Chains A and B, each alone.
Chain A
Amino acid sequence: MSLTSAIRVALAALFVNKGRSALTCLGIVIGIMAVIAMVVAGNGARASLDERLDSVGKNLILIKPGGRSNAGIVLSNDSFTDEEVKALREDPEVRRLVSALGENQSHLAMVSTPTVSHHTSITGGVPAMFHVRKWQIEHGRFYTENDLAKAAPVCLLGQTARQKLFPHRSNPVGERLRVGNVRLEVIGVLKAKGRAPTGADPDDQVFVPLSTLQEKIANVKRIDIITATAVTQDAIPQAVERIKKVLREKRRLKPGVDDTFEVSSVQEMAELAVNVARIFNILVVVIASISLIVGGIGIMNIMLVSVTERTREIGIRMAVGATPGDIRNQFLIEAVVLSLVGGLIGIVLGITVAITVTRIAGWPTLMSPFYIVLAFGVSAAVGVFFGLYPAAKAARLDPIEALRYE
C-alpha cells in the first residue's frame, strides 16, 4: 500500500473518533508547549542577564570592605583608606593585570533645584570610574583629574535623577543644583543603564568628583568600594589574588586570618548565572521527558484500545490481502499523526506562551526554527516509539481469530 493511501486510511480512522483523538493528543500538546515556552523564556532571561552583565563589564572586579567568614558572618566593616587605594594603584603586578582602578564613596542626600527636591545617592569617584564602570555620556562631559584635584563643584546626572530633577529638560547641562549648602553645576548626563538584576536603579545617582564629596558635601573620608577592570577575562583570577595579597599586606593580616574585605568579580556572578541556567536546562529536559512520556503512554493506551476495538476490521483487512506490515504501518501512522498533531498544537501554544512571558518580563523573545523542527521531530519520535507496541500487536493478530472476534 502506498504511503499516501496509508496516511489517508489512518486519518479517516482518527477522524471517526475525533473527541478521543483530541484528548489523546493533549499529553503531547502540554509536553511540547511546556518545553517550547520554557526554552524560549529561559533563553530570553539568559540573554537579558548577559546583556546586563555586559553593560556592567565582564572584567569588572569589585573590592568591598567587610570580610566574611566561611559561615557568612561579617567580620569587619573597615572602609578603605587612601593609602590602601594608593598601594593598589602603585603595585606593579596590579598595574599589569588591571587596566583601570577607581574608588568611590556614596552618600545619601537631598538634592534640590529651585523647583524640585529629590532624595538620591551622591556618588563621589575618580575619573577612571567612567572607564571601569563603562558609564557613557549622553550630554556634556565627564569630570576630569583637574576637577578631582580642585574638588570642583560639578556633577553629572543619571537618567532617573535627571528626570526627577529636570522633568522637562533632557539636557540640563549648565543648570545648577544644591546639596545642603553646596552648589553644583551640571556638566553632563549619563546614558540610562537600566535596572540592575538586584532591582537597584543605577540611574538614580548624582556623580561628583570624590574630593568634592569628601571635602564639601559629606565631610568624611570613607571609601566604600573600589572597582577595577582586569585587562582580559583570563587575568581576572590572578588580579583578584594579587589585590587580596596587597590589601592583606597593607592591613597586616597574619596567614590564617580571614580577609577583612571582599574581592569578587562579575565573572563569578556570570558563572553562577550559567550554573543556574544549566540547572534550569536540566529541569526543562526532565519536565519535557516526563510530559512526553506521559503523553506517549496516553497514545499507546488509546492505540491499544483501538486495536482491540478494531480487531474485526484488522481481520477483514488481512483477509483481503493486507500484510502484517500494512496493518502495522496503519496503526503506526495513526500514532504518529496523533503525536504530530499534538506537537503542532503544542508548538503554537508554546510560542504564544513564550511571547507573552518574555513580553511581560521585558526579555528578548529568542525563537529559532530549530526548536520547531526539533519539537516536530520529538513528537514524531514519541509517536513511533509508543505506537510501535500497539501496531506490532495489531500486526501479530491471526486473521481467522481476528475475523471471528466479536
Chain B
Amino acid sequence: MKPIIQIEEIHKIYDTGAVQVQALRGVSLSVEEGEFLAIMGASGSGKSTLMNILGCLDRPTSGRYLLDGEDVSKLNRYQLARIRNRKLGFVFQGFNLLKRHTALENVELPLLYAGVSARERRRRALAKLELVGLADRAGHLPNQLSGGQQQRVAIARALVNEPRILLADEPTGNLDSVTSEEILAEFQRLHRDLGQTIIMVTHELDVADHAQRIVLIRDGKVADDRSNLRPREARRRRVADANGSDIGRPHALAADDRSPALVAAGGREPGPGVVRETA
C-alpha cells in the first residue's frame, strides 16, 4: 500500500514573542490508505499541533509533508483551503457546528465551498446524514440535538466531500462514555465497511484502543508507534435506542471500571480522575 500521508522531521515552533514554544521537535510518520490511527499523548505533548498540520490548518515551521503524494508544507492559504475542502474531513472535540443552521445545512457546508449545486448538495448531505443514522433530524438545529447526535452530524459533514482522510481531534472529549462508544463504533464501521482512512487524537488509552495503530507523542516527538493487534470493539446501541434518552443506561459505569488497568498500560497517561475531568 502507498502512504497517503508522509511527514518527515516536522518541527513546529510557536513564537509568542517572549518565549518560543517547541511544540513539535521532529515528527516523522507515515500513514497508509485505509488505516485507523490513534495519536495519543499527555496534555501539551503536541497532539493538536500535529493534527492541525496534518489537517492543513497550519503549516510546519520546518519539515516535509506529503499528502497523497503532494508536498503541502509550502502551500499558501488558498491552496490549503482547497486541500482541506477536497481531501480532508474534520471532527472536533466541540463539534463546531454552525449554531443557526440546521443539521442538513451544516453537512452541506463543505459542498458549498466546493461549488456543488444546491440540489446535489442536498442529496449528498442527506445521504451522509442517513449514513450516521440522523436522516430524520435533518431539519433540526444543533441545540435541538444531543451531544452524540451533534458529533454524528459533524461526522456526516466531515464525510460529505468524500475525503481521503478523516481527522478527529478528541472527538469523544465532550461526550459521556456511552456516547463516546457510539462515536467510536461509527468510526470503526466507516473504517471497516468503507475503508475510510481515519486519524484520531485522544489522550485516553481506552479510546485509542479502538484504533488499529497507536502512535504515542511525548514532548513533541513520536515516543512509540505500534499496531493494535486486537482493537477493542465499540459497543453500539441499536439506532432506535440511540435517539432516546441517555439517562439510566445500564453500562454507564462499565467504562470507568476498566480505566485503571488501561492507565497502567499507557505509562505516562493521566489517571482516571484527570480523564473524567477533561471528558
Contact = CB atoms under 8 A, between A and B. Distances in A.
B96 A321 contact: no
Contacts of B112: 1, 5, 9
A242 to B, nearest CB: 77
Interface stretch (B29-37, B76-84, B180-188, B270-278): B76-84
Contacts of A322: 81, 85, 113
Interface residues of B, number: 26
A318 interface: yes
B86 to A, nearest CB: 7
B77 A326 contact: no
A324 B81 contact: yes
B98 A321 contact: no
Interface string B35-76: 000000000000000001001011000000000000000000
Interface in A126-180: none
Contact of B58 (A9, A312, A321, A400): A400
A313 B98 contact: yes
Contacts of A360: none
B172 interface: no
B121 to A, nearest CB: 9
A5 B110 CA distance: 13
Interface in B155-176: 157, 161
Given A9-B112, A321-B161, A316 B98 contact: yes
Contact of A321 (B52, B110, B118): B110
Nearest to A399: B57
A76 interface: no
Given A321-B84, A321-B85, A325-B78, A316 B113 contact: no
A400 B57 contact: yes
B84 A320 contact: yes
Given A2-B115, A5-B118, 7 more contacts: A312-B96, A315-B96, A317-B113, A320-B110, A321-B86, A323-B113, A400-B58
The 8 residue pairs across chains A and B that have the minimum distance between CB atoms:
A321-B85, A323-B81, A320-B110, A321-B113, A399-B57, A321-B84, A322-B113, A323-B78
Interface of B: 52, 55, 57-58, 77-78, 81-82, 84-86, 90, 92, 96-98, 100, 109-110, 112-115, 118, 157, 161
